[in-house]
Amino acid sequence: MITLFNYYDLKIHFLIEDDTPLHVYANREDKSCMGVIKFKDGLFESIEIEECAGQEKLEELDVNRMKLLIVNNLDEVIKRWIDFYVFNRPIKPEMITERIEDAHFS
């Protein structure tokens, strides 16, 4: 697990064996989900959420937090994906302490 962000123990990360399409995972304790970042004509289109086999589904509030963290930091997520999967560079996790509770994801 390559942690990108830690938001009050909600961890946003890559898996070592994943590469394309761009997958980002989130977990809190024993609950998790996967977000597939979709692009159309080179531009961000959406994040599709999928369950992780054999694991309890992440609560909806945390799923929305995951989406917000990805969208708000999309350039950094893409840069870290390229750094890790293309250039084999180590990734340092970032602790995010600015609250996003009042933000909405549409």
Question: Are 2 and 16 in contact, with CB atoms under 8 Å apart?
Answer: yes
Which residue blocks in 1-106 are alpha helix, DSSP H?
Answer: 60-72, 74-81
pTM of the predicted model, to two decimals?
A: 0.85
> Which residue reads 């692009």 in tokens?
39
| pLDDT digit string, tens, across residues 27-78 | 999 999 999 999 999 999 999 999 988 999 999 999 999 999 999 999 999 9
The first and second tokens of residue 32, run together, are 């998790």
87 confidence band (pLDDT: 50, 70, 90): very high
CA distance 62 to 30: 13
97 to each of 27, 50, 55, how far by Cα in Å? 17, 26, 27
